Structure 1
Amino acid sequence: MGKGMYTHGAVGQGTIVFGATYTYITWLTESMDVNITNSQPGDTWVVTCPVDATSVFDYRLVTLDTQNVNVSGSTYSRLLTGGEPCKPEVSILGPELFATAAAANWCPLLQNVGLDGLFDLIGQAAGFRGPPYAFNDSPNALSDVLGLTAALVSSRLNSTLQLPVNGTAYVMAARVGSGNKFALVFALPSLVCCCILAYLLSTSRMLRSIHHTSSSLVDILKLGRMSTI
């Protein structure tokens, strides 16, 4: 198997080429969900994947929910939802980002170079896999895996350019009561009960100034009779 990427056109454009023969055809065709019943020993299959990273990036308004109620657990409780396209005051969409996305698959394409050239990593991720894919316009699993790799690599690109961002933050908090002052009237019965209980506790301690101590059962019986009189 042979594979590689060849650049042409503008920065961020090129073509990824896969070539396979004999049993390696199976790996290549399975990643594309193609029937190979008509292939013959010694046949050579070639697959080309056009790459154009210049038209796949844009800015969008996003909503970040730090507590997603639809997801269980705290690890995956954050949800980022994309919205309408927008245009920032300063843009960082340029040749650096386009070149990074286009060349993102260089490591999987170099796998087993100098040996048999088998794209084992790509084949394991794309083989025997049908839709749904990560991208709505992915024609097959091979294209989907290449696109996912480019997206993951591009998302890790660091930039020293500080961009001013206009946004709105909504903070949700829990409160006690409705916020209406009249609602304090419903708290008066509880406050009165608390005051009565506090008064009874304080007066009962003052009344118990005489303490009895005895280990004799007869004394305990006499004390019980006296308390009932």
Structure 2
Amino acid sequence: MKHPYYSKSQKEKNSITAKIIVLSLLVNLTMGCILLYLNLLLFIFFPIAITFSIIAPFFDIPSLKENNQLIYYSSLFVAEREKNKIILVHGGSLFDYFFVIDRKLTGRERSNFILKHYLEGLLNLISEYETKDTQFLEDVTIKGTTYIINERTAEKFGLKKIETDTIKQLILIYNYPNLICSISIARAKLSFPNLKNINTFEGKITELIKNKDYLTRLYQKM
């Protein structure tokens, strides 16, 4: 797994962290001054919340990886540790998009790049689990939320669309500024995501294993 951030020295990582903190403080200080001038300082909560939504992945993701709570199966596809035979998978965060995606790529090239790394991650996940006991695998479920893969494509992978739970919807609403940044990077232009197009999928790991050949062919084409 090649990820530019994790190949950096600790000094470089610390420098990045410091720059993020300083920039965030400057943004919120500026907004605070503007709101104070307008006698609207009570609304300072909003820029703070937006800033936190955007910068949180730059702290959370490396920390979770370091503590082995997140596993990278590709540079843009991670999974939480299996719990109660459920594997929660996630496409790349804003943190990953920022460091991994080449800014020279067009919007279409970026979408293909992201999908390719999704497929790579799924294939690596399958490779890890396909050798496990069959009876164990029958009960293992993969679950994830994404705006990259549509329902038709997910079905070919062996996944089915399910209703996004209320808590997840609230998290998505809170993280809307983060999603704007992520999708804008993914499409190489300022984009505002429609939350209705963000879907949650789940499926048995055995179904993905059955479709491994299809996933491999699709990956090789990209």
TM-score range, shorter chain: under 0.3
Asked which structure has the greater CA Rg, the reply is 1
- TM-score by length of structure 1 reads 0.19
Richer in helix (by share): 2
- TM-score by length of structure 2 reads 0.20
